[in-house]
Amino acid sequence: MNDYRLVLRNLFGSRSRFALTLTGITVGITALVVMMSLGGGLRAQIERQATDLGANLIVTPKGWCAYEQVKVLSGNQLPDAIPPDEVAAIEAIDGVTVLPYLTVGSAIDNEPVPVTGVRVAETVAAKRWSVAEGEIPAAGEHGVLAGAAIAESFALAPGDSLTLRGTPFTVRGVMASTGTGDDGVLFIPLDVAQEVYETSGRVSFLAVSVADLSAVDLYAQRITDAANVAVISDRQLLASVLSVVDSVGTTLTVIAAVAVLTAAFGIINTMLMATLERRREIGILKSLGSTNARVFRVFMLEAAAYGVIGGVVGLVVGTAASHIITPLIAANEFTAFVGGARVSALPPLSDMLAILIGAVAVSTASGLYPAWRAARLAPVEAISYE
Amino acid sequence: MSDALIVRGVHKTYNGRSVPTPALRGVDLEIEAGTFTCIVGPSGHGKSTLLHLLGGLDRPSAGAVHAFGEDLSKMSDARLARFRAERVGFVFQFFNLLKGLDVTENVSMPMMLAGRSPREQRDRAADLLASVGLSEKAHARPSELSGGQMQRVAIARALANDPEALMLDEPTGNLDSVSEAEVLAILDELHSAGRTIVMVTHSPEIAARAERVVEVRDGLIA
């Protein structure tokens, strides 16, 4: 015999209780991993999207908040807000290249799909997209360039027909995967989009590249002078959107942390019950010569074991679950504003290790009071307890 | 022969929730090494309390308990635990085996607490189980044993660290006459081998086998 075998015997002695307590801490850790990977997934997605914007400045209508800025990065539908004369005024500024976006929506088989009107050829060139199949639809043509992911989910291939807002379109091309939200979007020529969606020449926002990067602020000034719009740099946009995403991530993590805390009370409860139930056993151990310190140690080891086992199982289950669940959660309304967040980013190894250490720390702390209670039981009292 | 156990002016009062209950009220007693002593008396008059004090399982409220030259009343909790592990062995009426452990592990427990190696534990447990006739039950759970078998395991466990004295609290109180005879035969054997035995009992027949009978009544030696 040694202490560790004694601990194992104690743990497995009451199997259902062991299983239930372990489930508590495992669920908590699993939730933590899933939530952290979901938050990380959103962040990674946003960062990819922003670097893929291919612009230095984003021109939006005045008064947009972070929520709408997120949609700029996600390709979700936005109001058509910038009138054609202002687009023209901005385009007239020397040294800027303008890519207008009109983000609208439609449905295929009753499933909503994002549709974006762009100057297809210019956009493909600016964003360095490559076309996997077919070709780029020409301006004025009722043709579609489908993102890789959306083409796959609806089995779209060049030559296929589909109806957007009651108007027949033909798929002209399918893009190679970009790894961004663009994969989930149907692109159509801007002029056609403006006509079909009756926006009177308005667009949702403009992505602007400037000739001289060192003078970005100067260009921003010129744009706001020329038109009644707001200008935000790609970095500001990223920071602004990330602050939203991070607060969502933090909220998710806090929720999961509450789950872990709840599990801690489960451990305290189990261990306290164990000290009551095992009063007699503690008394026997003491009558056989066990010191208080040893009883304390055995109880602490039991509590820590919950953290080690629950932590490891939670990390494994959480990793598996985030692969399975995260895409589902990302499809949920609450988080779906980042259109392409179908991929989770697992917390880095250092975070995993921190979670494990945290689990052991929480469970060990939970064992302190029960172990102290067990250790100070008087042997005679404990033995006469029936 | 020298005195193994010496009790001087011992009082023991249990502090209940409301009223303090005196269990022993000034006991003096010497027990010689190698003797077989029975403590008798009515229930609730302090027999078990006296036994617990002799074996260092409890501390006196006043007075001193010396065992094998050591003053138990002055020992720290940890020293007292070590004393229980190495110098005395307890056997109780309700066996007090650890339910989650098998017979060998139960017998090994005091050796583990005394820091003996797993190999030593295994070998000695096997010898002890053979000496109480339970070799074939080495890996049984306590729940698979009869009362008499459990008590023999408890005796083997009490002997694990080869203690100077055995402290038994009504060891046959829960046994049929056949099992009782088996247990008493083992005790006779241990006594003739020179071990100090102190036993609390209700039974006059058992007390008659002892070299000395001490009667405790109203917390005093009668």
Residues in chain A: 386
* Pair (A253, A357) in one structural domain: yes
Q: Which of A169-178, A319-328, A363-372 has the lowest mean pLDDT?
A: A319-328
Q: How confident is the model at residue A66 (pLDDT cuts 50, 70, 90)?
A: low
* Predicted local distance difference test score (pLDDT) of residue A357: 92
Domain extent, residue A84, equals 62-228
Q: Which of A50-54, A145-149, B95-99 has the lowest mean pLDDT?
A: A50-54
Instruction: Provide the shortest C-alpha distance from residue A359 to chain B (in Å).
Output: 27
CA distances from A95 to A92, A218, A228 (A): 9, 11, 19
Q: How confident is the model at residue A40 (pLDDT cuts 50, 70, 90)?
A: confident
* Predicted local distance difference test score (pLDDT) of residue A336: 44
Q: How confident is the model at residue A268 (pLDDT cuts 50, 70, 90)?
A: confident
Is the pLDDT at A307 greater than 80? The verdict is yes
Is the pLDDT at A51 greater than 70? The verdict is no
CA distances from A100 to A206, A214, B26, B68 (A): 4, 23, 102, 98
Backbone φ and ψ of A171, nearest 5°:
-70, 120
* Predicted local distance difference test score (pLDDT) of residue A194: 92
Q: Is A350 exposed, middle or buried (0-12, 13-18, 19+ CB in 10 A)?
A: exposed
* Pair (A335, A210) in one structural domain: no
Contact A284 B77 (CB under 8 A): no
Distance CA B160, CA B131 (A): 12
Q: Is B139 exposed, middle or buried (0-12, 13-18, 19+ CB in 10 A)?
A: exposed
What percent of chain A has pLDDT above 70? 89
Is the pLDDT at A313 greater than 90? The verdict is yes
Chain B's closest residue to A283, CA to CA, is: B96
CA within 13 Å, CB half, A345: 15
Residues of A within 8 A of B115 (CB-CB) are none
Which of A228, A260, A278 is a domain's end point?
A228
* Pair (A201, A267) in one structural domain: no
Residue with the larger pLDDT of the pair A329 and A68:
A68
| C-beta separation of B95 from B151 below 8 A | yes
Q: What is the mean pLDDT of chain A?
A: 83
Distance CA B163, CA B142 (A): 23
* Pair (A313, A177) in one structural domain: no
Tell whether A161 is covered by a domain.
yes
Tell whether A19 is covered by a domain.
yes
| C-beta separation of A26 from A314 below 8 A | yes
Partner residue facing B52 (CB), from A13, A289, A380: A380
Q: How confident is the model at residue A348 (pLDDT cuts 50, 70, 90)?
A: confident
* Predicted local distance difference test score (pLDDT) of residue A254: 86
Contact B84 A288 (CB under 8 A): yes
Distance CA A178, CA A342 (A): 14
* Pair (A210, A248) in one structural domain: no
* Pair (A33, A73) in one structural domain: no
Contacts of B17 (CB under 8 A, 6+ apart): none
Question: Which residues of A have a CB under 8 Å from any CB of B?
Answer: 1-3, 5-6, 9-10, 13, 280-281, 283-294, 378-380, 383
CA distances from A192 to A61, A125, A195 (A): 22, 20, 5
User: A174-230 pLDDT, tens per residue?
Assistant: 999 887 778 888 999 999 999 999 888 899 989 898 888 788 888 889 998 988 888
* Pair (A246, A224) in one structural domain: no
ipTM of this complex prediction, to 2 decimal places: 0.92
- What is the number of domains present in chain A? 2
* Predicted local distance difference test score (pLDDT) of residue A73: 66
Distance CA A359, CA A22 (A): 11
Where chain B has pLDDT below 70, the residues are 1-2
* Predicted local distance difference test score (pLDDT) of residue A237: 77
Contact B98 A281 (CB under 8 A): yes
Which of A200, A228, A256 is a domain's end point?
A228
User: B19-61 pLDDT, tens per residue?
Assistant: 888 899 999 999 999 999 999 999 889 999 999 999 999 999 9
* Pair (A69, A8) in one structural domain: no
* Pair (A180, A291) in one structural domain: no
* Predicted local distance difference test score (pLDDT) of residue A385: 57
* Pair (A353, A267) in one structural domain: yes
Tell whether A57 is covered by a domain.
no
Please give the torsion angle defined by the CA atoms of residues A105, A110, A111 and A114, in that order, rounded to the nearest 10 degrees.
-10
Instruction: Provide the shortest C-alpha distance from residue A310 to chain B (in Å).
Output: 23
* Predicted local distance difference test score (pLDDT) of residue A341: 44
Please give the torsion angle defined by the CA atoms of residues B66, B68, B74 and B80, in that order, rounded to the nearest 10 degrees.
-120
Is the pLDDT at A245 greater than 90? The verdict is no
Tell whether A156 is covered by a domain.
yes
Is the pLDDT at A146 greater than 90? The verdict is yes
Tell whether A176 is covered by a domain.
yes
Q: How confident is the model at residue A241 (pLDDT cuts 50, 70, 90)?
A: confident
* Pair (A195, A122) in one structural domain: yes
Residue with the larger pLDDT of the pair A350 and A339:
A350
* Predicted local distance difference test score (pLDDT) of residue A332: 47
* In chain A, alpha helices (H): 3-13, 15-51, 66-74, 84-91, 120-126, 148-153, 190-196, 216-226, 234-277, 279-287, 292-330, 349-375, 379-384
| C-beta separation of A26 from A317 below 8 A | yes
Tell whether A361 is covered by a domain.
yes
pLDDT (mean) for A12-34: 85
- Residue to substitute from B113, B123, B159, interface A, most A β-carbons within 10 A: B113
| C-beta separation of A299 from A292 below 8 A | no
Instruction: Provide the shortest C-alpha distance from residue B67 to chain A (in Å).
Output: 15
Q: How confident is the model at residue A13 (pLDDT cuts 50, 70, 90)?
A: confident
Q: How confident is the model at residue A345 (pLDDT cuts 50, 70, 90)?
A: low
Is the pLDDT at A28 greater than 60? The verdict is yes
Contact A285 B109 (CB under 8 A): yes
CA distances from A165 to A115, A158, A204 (A): 10, 20, 18
Q: How confident is the model at residue A333 (pLDDT cuts 50, 70, 90)?
A: very low
Residue with the larger pLDDT of the pair A295 and A261:
A295
Tell whether A53 is covered by a domain.
no
Contact A9 B100 (CB under 8 A): yes
pLDDT (mean) for A159-180: 90
Which of A228, A255, A275 is a domain's end point?
A228
Range A232-240 contact pairs with CB under 8 angstroms and sequence separation of 24 or more: A232/A57, A232/A58, A232/A60, A232/A69, A233/A56, A233/A57, A233/A58, A234/A50, A234/A53, A234/A55, A234/A56, A234/A57, A234/A58, A237/A50, A237/A53, A237/A58, A237/A69, A237/A72, A237/A73, A238/A46, A238/A47, A238/A50, A240/A66, A240/A69
Which span out of A3-12, A105-114, A243-252, B26-35 was modeled with the highest average pLDDT? B26-35
* Pair (A25, A92) in one structural domain: no
Q: Which of A137-151, A226-240, B117-131 has the lowest mean pLDDT?
A: A226-240
Tell whether A55 is covered by a domain.
no
| C-beta separation of A260 from A307 below 8 A | no
Partner residue facing B58 (CB), from A6, A9, A380: A380
